[in-house]
Amino acid sequence: MIPIVELYAAGLAIYVIGALGGFAAHLARKNGNRLTFTLTAAAVAGSVLEAIAAAACLFSNTVPSWSAAGALPGLSFSVRLDPLSGFFLLALSVLAGPVFVYTIGYRRHGAYGEKPALWSGFSHLLMAALTLVFTASNLLFFLICWELAVGASYFLISAGHQEEETRRGGLLFMLMSRAGAGMIYLGLLLLALFAGSTDFADFRSVGAKLPPPFSGLAFLLLFGGFGVKAGIIPFHIWLPAAHPVAPSNISALLSGIVIKTGIYGIARVCFDFYGELPPWAGILTLTAGVASAVLGVLYALMEHDLKRLLAFHSIENIGIILMGFGAALLFRSYGHPSLAAVAVTAGLYHTLNHVIFKGLLFLAAGAVVSSAHTRNMEEMGGLVKRLPLTALCFLIGAAAISGLPPLNGFVSEWLTYQALLAGFGATSEITRVGFPLAGALLALTAALAAACFVKAFGITFLALPRSEAARRAKPPSASMNAGMILLAGGCALAGLGAHVLLRLFDGITNAWFGVQVSSGLVSTSAFALNAPAPRTGAASPLAIGISLAILGLTPYLVWRIRRRQELVRVGPTWDCGLPGLTAAHEMTATAFSKSIRMIFSVIFRPRREIQAQYDVSPYFPKAIHFESEIQPALSERLYEPLREFVFRMSLRLRQIQAGSLHAYLGYIFLTLILLLLFGVRA
């Protein structure tokens, strides 16, 4: 019998001790190599322990919990490892282990390397806070840990705070977190008011106890608050500002698991706290998911900053996860619990997959950025020959995120398509056409994501180097490679072993819908996944992988055996008779995405300015100045007016600060009168 609570507590203890140790070392100005290595290795050990505890919790039938009373009324330090918490804890640990292995090599690079003990301390604090956020079962304790996680994230994002861009990213992150946290507080307090307690165990199906206006209001507040954290459109503006500027191992954690706290919150609210929701909630979730997915990938295509591109893709994948959740909510409203279980599984499986492949992509991007000393794709190139292992890992991550078989992205997108397809027959109302339309837009998203990653991989790694730094790029250290390889293996495993991994979700769907989802989805004979009944249709990633290997290796071996070496030569690429190809002749990232920019110009509203200088003939310009810009729609239309409004209101309110002592005495007197009248009860 695996001691779940003991392992969990041991992992948590390691994180807390590591945090304290890191801060103490920083204050004592000890940044030695051995010390930071110990701290990072301790984090790896902690994540391994947590992973074992989480996996054991998912496969056991018990719900271990632990609590200790707190000082404030309503606060108790209680922790409950129910299946949903166990799943997110598993996702956290599966990402954190390889990230900290990578950090062993990365801890001397960039902003992280300037104060490694301090940032190690904050990383441990973030890990502890996230572990507690996913497992806390007391309202106030949850909020405390949430704020701890936000604080630790802020400090980690601002590690490179000498740069203006980094400061701005951290500030925007903090501001949006405040707004989101405010909505979460209000929503959870509303629920606590009607549940009569602050224990999450008592919140089960509390949504039914709320009277109609408050029920919808609490749902909207919580959806919005957790949505800000997850990065749903229109609350996404902090994501592309904050994730690129953080050190790359932290970006992997941020995009990988910190935004999943928002998804955890949404899942808890939608399926645990609310046993029943009217159809508009499902439609809202589905629409938010579709909008985030499509807009996220469209903006990602326009980026040539490698890490900003990946940040926008996080928005896209959050959208896909929400599509699964929205479909599940609608199925539940229309009375199809087994289909709802399939849709929730699709969303949660995509969550796990996104954790793995986004973490992998950010780690690989970090290796590239620290080798080439730039985040701009237009200055990279040719890195596949200089950083071959990094390129391979990035390729696996890119293929996974594009949904190509037999990797994990394909499996979760297949599940999402099947769930959406089943939606058409789930109800006879007009809303049923939303399901296939969502499916079509999901197909558009997946294809655009593939285009974006062809661009990202191709421009960054392939062909000739576009700058001196790219030409002199050195491969990353062995531990950085090891971290990336672990996650790449995870991508392959989650794809090829999907028929085994689906059993992870049985506990969750059993608790929420009373069905064991893997018995319906996994075929007992072939290693295949079945479409949800009554539809038929199967997919077997393992068999696909084996078949592709056989069908690809056979011609390769035939060619290798029968080729004549003297007939294979290396020659220069066709250059139309010009004197040799240089990097200037290659494709650029901006040019690659031009077709999409033109086709979707309604969304982008691109602006282009070309100025050419010539002295003799316009066909032989001396210099050309090219400027191209897209207008970010939401930032302009929504946030700028909001900011203007807030500033105007603040200027009006400043008049209270009259500067006169008499006015201030008057305010104190007025407050005292009001308190005596309304605050003091007889």
Q: How far is CA 383 from CA 136, 241, 374, 387, 470, in A?
A: 44, 26, 13, 6, 7
CB of 383: closest distance to another protein in angstroms? 10
CB of 622: closest distance to another protein in angstroms? 22
CB of 335: closest distance to another protein in angstroms? 13
Q: How far is CA 551 from CA 496, 548, 557, in A?
A: 17, 5, 11
Q: Among residues 524 and 613, whose Cβ is nearest to another protein?
A: 524
CB of 583: closest distance to another protein in angstroms? 8
Q: Among residues 565 and 655, whose Cβ is nearest to another protein?
A: 565
- Per CB under 8 A, contacts with another protein among 407-446 are 410, 413-414, 417-418, 421, 424-425, 432-433, 436-437, 439-444, 446
Can you tell me the distance from the alpha carbon of 134 to that of 129, in angstroms, rounded to the nearest whole number?
9
Q: Among residues 64 and 403, whose Cβ is nearest to another protein?
A: 403
- Per CB under 8 A, contacts with another protein among 587-646 are 587, 591-596, 598-599
- Per CB under 8 A, contacts with another protein among 237-266 are none
Binding another protein by CB under 8 A: which of 61, 524, 536, 657?
Answer: 536
CB of 502: closest distance to another protein in angstroms? 17
Under 8 Å CB-to-CB from 641, ≥6 apart: which residues?
none
Q: With CB under 8 A as the contact rule, which of the stretches 76-84, 191-199, 456-464, 673-681 interacts with another protein?
A: 456-464
**Gyration radius (Cα) of the chain, Å:** 27
CB of 412: closest distance to another protein in angstroms? 12
CB of 608: closest distance to another protein in angstroms? 15
Q: Which two tokens stand for residue 202?
A: 């008592």
3-state secondary structure 235-299: CHHHHHHHCCCCCHHHHHHHHHHHCHHHHHHHHHHHHHHCCCCCHHHHHHHHHHHHHHHHHHHHH
* Residue 578 in the binding site for another protein (CB under 8 A): no
Q: Among residues 538 and 642, whose Cβ is nearest to another protein?
A: 538
Torsion angle, alpha carbons of 46, 50, 52, 53, to 10: 140
Can you tell me the distance from the alpha carbon of 368 to that of 481, in angstroms, rounded to the nearest whole number?
12
Q: With CB under 8 A as the contact rule, which of the stretches 72-80, 223-231, 314-322, 554-562 interacts with another protein?
A: 554-562
Binding another protein by CB under 8 A: which of 457, 505, 512, 604?
Answer: 457
CB of 538: closest distance to another protein in angstroms? 6
In the shown chain, the binding pattern of residues 369 to 398 toward another protein, with x for contact by CB under 8 A and - for none, equals -------------x-xx---------x---
Binding another protein by CB under 8 A: which of 1, 71, 561, 568?
Answer: 568
Q: Among residues 124 and 455, whose Cβ is nearest to another protein?
A: 455
The dihedrals phi and psi of 76, each to the nearest 5 degrees, come to -145, 140
- Per CB under 8 A, contacts with another protein among 661-680 are none
Can you tell me the distance from the alpha carbon of 410 to that of 602, in angstroms, rounded to the nearest whole number?
30
Q: Among residues 566 and 609, whose Cβ is nearest to another protein?
A: 566
CB of 588: closest distance to another protein in angstroms? 8
CB of 439: closest distance to another protein in angstroms? 6
Q: Among residues 63 and 581, whose Cβ is nearest to another protein?
A: 581
Strand partners, 69: 76
Q: Which two tokens stand for residue 528?
A: 């295949």
Q: Which two tokens stand for residue 621?
A: 């310009």
Can you tell me the distance from the alpha carbon of 244 to that of 232, in angstroms, rounded to the nearest whole number?
17
Q: Which two tokens stand for residue 156?
A: 């980690």
Can you tell me the distance from the alpha carbon of 640 to that of 616, in angstroms, rounded to the nearest whole number?
46
Q: With CB under 8 A as the contact rule, which of the stretches 246-254, 499-507, 552-560, 666-674 interacts with another protein?
A: 552-560
Q: With CB under 8 A as the contact rule, which of the stretches 118-126, 244-252, 273-281, 545-553 interacts with another protein?
A: 545-553
- Per CB under 8 A, contacts with another protein among 462-491 are 462-464
Binding another protein by CB under 8 A: which of 212, 213, 572, 577?
Answer: 572
CB of 399: closest distance to another protein in angstroms? 7
Binding another protein by CB under 8 A: which of 450, 469, 482, 634?
Answer: 450
Under 8 Å CB-to-CB from 60, ≥6 apart: which residues?
2, 4
Binding another protein by CB under 8 A: which of 30, 585, 605, 608?
Answer: 585
Can you tell me the distance from the alpha carbon of 355 to that of 49, in angstroms, rounded to the nearest whole number?
19
In the shown chain, the binding pattern of residues 496 to 535 toward another protein, with x for contact by CB under 8 A and - for none, equals ------------------------------x-x--x--xx
Can you tell me the distance from the alpha carbon of 361 to that of 309, in angstroms, rounded to the nearest whole number?
11
* Residue 538 in the binding site for another protein (CB under 8 A): yes
Exposure string over 514-523, b if 16+ CB within 10 A, otherwise e: ebbbbebbbe
| Residue 26 CB neighbour total at 10 angstroms | 18
Q: Among residues 566 and 615, whose Cβ is nearest to another protein?
A: 566
Look at the block and give the residue holding tokens 């995509």: 350
Q: Among residues 193 and 433, whose Cβ is nearest to another protein?
A: 433
Binding another protein by CB under 8 A: which of 43, 459, 473, 480?
Answer: 459
Q: Which two tokens stand for residue 82?
A: 């129910």
| Residue 53 CB neighbour total at 10 angstroms | 29
CB of 522: closest distance to another protein in angstroms? 13
Asked whether the beta carbons of 448 and 356 are under 8 A apart, the reply is: no
Q: Among residues 264 and 435, whose Cβ is nearest to another protein?
A: 435
* Residue 567 in the binding site for another protein (CB under 8 A): yes
Look at the block and give the residue holding tokens 């507590």: 9
Q: What is the largest CA-CA distance in the chain?
A: 103
Q: How far is CA 326 from CA 261, 277, 396, 521, in A?
A: 18, 11, 29, 20
Site residue total, another protein (CB under 8 A): 88
